[in-house]
Amino acid sequence: MHIDAPCELKERLSYIDAMKAVIDNECHAGCPYQLKKNPNLGETKLKFRCSADKCEACISFLKDDEEYILTEYNGTHNHNQIKDETKKYHTLSQCYRRVLINFIKQGGDPKMAQIECDKKLDLDDPLNRPSFLNASSDQMKTIQEKGNKKIKGIQKYDDNQFKSTQLFKGIKEQESPKDLIYFDVDNYNKPKKLIFYYASFKFLDIIKI
């Protein structure tokens, strides 16, 4: 199977158009892509590669300010390899998950994330929606629900939310100090600064700015 490139090499795309190009490839190939990042380059260079065994199909971007330059493209898929039953395969779209997370980071309503992102990505056919897209949104919803439940628990120790938070902090320092990432309150009633994260690291990936 061959999928045509979304544009010419070195052409500049917006963030959403770059992500749409990857997701279009995933949908046509029927297989999610795996994100490969160079630890030294971080978000500067993104390479998405088909997760099927020995498939060389890939799409790479170089980030320049707010634009994404297409630097590499291979749209030829080879999915003839027999699956290795001992290997764990990707079952969700990392690219689609990134779009959902970005929507929330920009102040979007988490409950509307899938609907709004699908509009931007032109994913308007629910009957032909690949399972790996649903898996991405379902995973994010589960992480959010667990994280929100923990955050609500902070407020149960006192009617004053800041005092309750400090009491919660003291308890968690004893029970599970590794989960307490950062906390600072200068005054109970008028705090100058309050930054508090208590959640799984996956949840932090979603809510941090």
**Contact, 151 vs 196, CB < 8 A?**
no
Residue 24 has pLDDT above 50, yes or no: yes
At 46, give phi and psi (nearest 5°): -120, 130
DSSP assignment, residue 76?
B
Name every residue whose Cβ is closer than 8 Å to that of residue 186 and which is 6 or more positions away in sequence: 192, 193
The token pair at 47 is 């390479």
* % the chain with pLDDT above 90: 27
Residue 207 has pLDDT above 50, yes or no: no
Rounded Cα gap, residues 181 and 8, in angstroms: 45
Q: Please choose, from the candidates 124, 108, 105, 104, the residue with its C-alpha nearest in 3D space to the C-alpha of residue 23.
A: 124
* CA 198 from centre of chain: 19
For 74-129, what is each residue's pLDDT tens digit?
A: 999 998 876 666 666 667 888 998 898 888 878 788 778 888 999 999 987 766 78
Degrees (nearest 5) of the Cα angle 19, 134, 2?
50
CA dihedral in degrees (19, 20, 24, 26; nearest 10)? 20
